[in-house]
Amino acid sequence: MNNIGVIELEGMEFKAYHGCLEQEKVRGNSFTVDFKGELDLSAAAASDNLNDTLNYAEIYDLIAEEMSVPSELLENVAGRIMKEIERRFPQLISFSVRVSKKRPPVEGVAQWSRVTLYHG
């Protein structure tokens, strides 16, 4: 029997240098990333063995690595993260990644700018 479930990592925080403006490239900004993945958790539910599930520490490390590479667009950052997750974790049925930039440089008040990409 399949036990389809969800593994999530929410609120991962990074200082990064993504953005189109020179000040963003020099001073950086605060970003959060949220990951949500759907997969069959039957084996892990029965075995209590990390090898039978998705190791979220590996997801975190992958995201941290991609966040360290400056990009002008959040779409590009999210796209690179998605591509690597798809390549390294084929057991995922579907997943999403949301990248949020704190206090984006706009004329007015905005707490966050966000991009969410979905796979599957």
* CATH number, position 97: 3.30.1130.10
d(CA 102, CA 95): 23
- pLDDT score at 21: 85
CB 65 within 8 A of CB 104: no
Q: What is the pLDDT of residue 105?
A: 87
Percentage of the chain lying above the pLDDT 70 cut: 99
Q: Distance between alpha carbon 94 and the CA centroid of its chain, in Å?
A: 13
pLDDT for 49: 95
Whose CA is closest to 9, among 59, 75, 52, 81? 59
Closest among 104, 94, 96, 88 to 23, alpha carbons compared? 104
Q: Bigger pLDDT: 56 or 2?
A: 56
Can you give the pLDDT at residue 66? 98
**Percent of the chain at pLDDT above 90?**
88
Instruction: Output phi, psi for 75, to 5 deg.
Output: -60, -40
Provide the pLDDT for residue 109.
94
Task: Tell me if residue 36 is catalytic.
Answer: no
Mean pLDDT across 50-56 = 94
Answer whether residue 7 shows pLDDT above 80: yes
C-alpha–C-alpha distance, residues 45 and 47, integer Å = 6
As for how many domains the chain has, the answer is 1
What are the phi and psi torsion angles at 101 (to 5°)? -105, 125
Determine which helix (DSSP H) or strand (DSSP E) holds 61, and give its type and residue range.
helix 56-67
Query: Which one from 15, 83, 101, 102 is the annotated catalytic residue?
Result: 101
Q: Whole domain around residue 64: which residue ranges?
A: 4-119
Band (pLDDT 50/70/90 cuts) for residue 1 is low
pTM given for the model? 0.93
Please, what is the average pLDDT of the chain?
95
CA-nearest of 81, 89, 88, 82 to 64 is 81
